Amino acid sequence: MKNLLHLIAIIALTIVTQIGGAVYVVTLLTLQQVKSKSILKGSSLFIFLYLIATFLVTPILAPIFGREKIKETEFLEAHSFFYKLANRDYVKPELQQLLDNTSKAYAKSNKNIKLIHLDASFPFFDKFPLLPHLSHNDGKKIDISLVYQDDNAEITNRKKSVSGYGVFENPQVREYNQNLACQKRGFWQYDFPKYLSFGTINDDIIFSNSGTKNLISEILKDNNLSKLFIEPHLKSRLNLSNNKIRFHGCRAVRHDDHIHIHIQIK
């Protein structure tokens, strides 16, 4: 039973953080060498080794695989510390440049407003899946938060869910309901992110049409941008017509809780 629990922990940590399973194995081997069975010592050692691996070793090794840890600035930050702690914030240098340029340009016209990112990619190995995403496996993709506004119609950095996912800007009356259309075709997973919000917050804010449209307009200026995914009813509502704005397909999940961007490197 103990070996089974260790195996489950290794698999779970690998799925969530990529490197956590390997750190767990090193921890077990170290405890075996010193003949310690203390849970407290084991947990402390794992946490210590994991933090060293995540914040010191991995950022140094990632460029070997053509990726770098997202550099946060006064204009750019992760929605949650979880994305940094779980090594889900690695991108190609070209995508880092897009984020830098977009965030700076957006901040010029929107004082104190930051570009908030969600999941990007893991640091190592192309095609290593970053679940639950289908395509975040090469450093060329990242999810960006939608923009919201407060009761005074002022846009804000606050978001509507703890994770940044799972609180949708649903279709209004007469807007096309892609979620319903996909689920009628049997794609039950299409609105699965509703289970990944980890709680709702900031109930006083609402979706900002102008703020989100302006952000997308800035993203579209980057020559390396290949595709941008957003739900069809939001594309229509925001009057967006650029051919790089695509429908992601029913096999993915709905994109009215975030924006997905994908670069191509020339």
pLDDT digits (tens, 9 = 90+) for 58-98: 999 999 999 999 999 999 999 999 999 999 999 999 999 99
Q: Give the chain's count of helices (H) and strands (E).
A: 9, 11
Q: How many structural domains does the chain have?
A: 2
Asked whether 261 and 142 are in contact (CB, 8 A), the reply is: yes
Asked whether 237 and 209 are in contact (CB, 8 A), the reply is: yes
Cβ-Cβ contacts under 8 Å for 227 (sequence gap 6 or more): 244, 245, 246, 260, 261, 262
Is 95 in the same domain as 169? yes
Q: Given a cut of 90, is residue 33 above it in pLDDT?
A: no
Q: What are the start-end ranges of the E strands in 121-187?
A: 141-145, 148-149, 155-156
* Domain with 142 in it: 66-263
Which of 45, 63, 81 is the last residue in one of the domains?
A: 63
Is 56 in the same domain as 112? no
This prediction's pTM: 0.93
CA atoms of 91 and 118, how far apart (whole Å): 12
123-159: pLDDT as tens digits: 999 999 999 998 999 999 999 999 999 988 899 999 9
Which of 1-10, 86-95, 211-220, 244-253 has the least mean pLDDT?
1-10
Q: In this structure, what token pair is assigned to residue 59?
A: 């950022």
Residue 123, Ramachandran bin (φ over 0: left; ψ between -120 and 50: alpha; else beta): alpha
Is 74 in the same domain as 162? yes
Question: Helices (DSSP H) in 137-253: which residue ranges?
Answer: 178-184, 209-219, 232-237
